[in-house]
Amino acid sequence: MGRRKSGRDISGVIVLDKPLELTSNAALQQVRRFFDARKGGHTGALDPLATGVLPLCFGEATKLSHFALEADKTYVVTAKLGQRTSTSDAEGEVVEERPIGFADAQLSAALEHFTGEQAQSPSMFSALKHEGRPLYYYARQGIDVPRKSRTITIHNITLLELKDDLLTLEVTCSKGTYIRTLVDDMGQYLGCGAHVQALRRTWIEGVVGDMVTPEELAAKAAQCDPESGDFAALDALLLPCDAVIQQIPEVFIEPADAPRFTAGNPAQAVNAEPQAEDVILRVKTAGEEQLLGLGFWRDNKIMPKRVLSIAKI
């Protein structure tokens, strides 16, 4: 008997090491086909130019991906100095060239200047939407549209290397930060212009588990037998649904209260002090530590905020 064309109901997380020149959605669909997964999503896109940490959520884990988007992230970026491009990265056309003439003290001042809370205008080549279409749709047609600046926080910028016209930095930042825009702005500050030549995401707050490459997944897929429903080699790589939200604190309820909680009703916490209502919690069963969903305190009980289907995990 053949497998169902609609896919399998699997739940869990794969932390993909996204390769170069592949969109995040293409990477997701490739991995989804390996697993024959019915439902999947990612927790924040990486440009085709970028590589590195790309968590992929399947099944019930997709209900948690929104909360992973709020996390801080770390990137290693190599900027090419002396050139601005139309896209602020190596994929665009060079629109301006200037000599590189800044001193070490100016570079140190730039790193300090761009550290902290600040307003940043998104790139025209971002996925933010204007009148229902992403900004890059307009940019590719040469149309400039108004963009609202957003408040971001650059927690830290570390100088890793400056060699000739290549500047390599490690940047830890808040959600919504565009590294291309940061590099372009920094190039303007230094007076020489700059664009992103290489970008790798190395860390996302709350994401745990070893990264796997598409090649490693393909090798595991070759050990599977989809026709008989044998996906054991791949399924062994799936991480728990909350592998993308480990920064969210845990709270436990009695296993007997699990059906009540997942049905949308409050439950009594086991040996936990109440916290403010705006604190989101990972709700698990005591002893078994099965993830039931997310909740918050109200009237000394844990109220459901986002529940998982126990039958599917």
> What residues act catalytically?
47
d(CA 130, CA 148): 10
Reading the block at residue 30, the tokens are: 């490739």
One-letter amino acid for residue 141 of the chain = Q
Reading the block at residue 1, the tokens are: 């008997």
Q: Are 47 and 20 in contact (CB under 8 A)?
A: no
Residue 294 neighbours by CB distance under 10 Å = 22
Q: Dihedrals φ, ψ of 271, to 5°?
A: 50, 55
Q: Are 206 and 245 in contact (CB under 8 A)?
A: yes
Token pair 């001193």 is found at 103
Mark out the alpha helices in 191-272 (DSSP H runs): 214-221, 232-235, 258-262
Mark out the alpha helices in 36-149 (DSSP H runs): 65-68, 104-113, 135-139
d(CA 207, CA 210): 10
Q: Is the dihedral of CA 284, 285, 287, 290 positive or negative?
A: negative
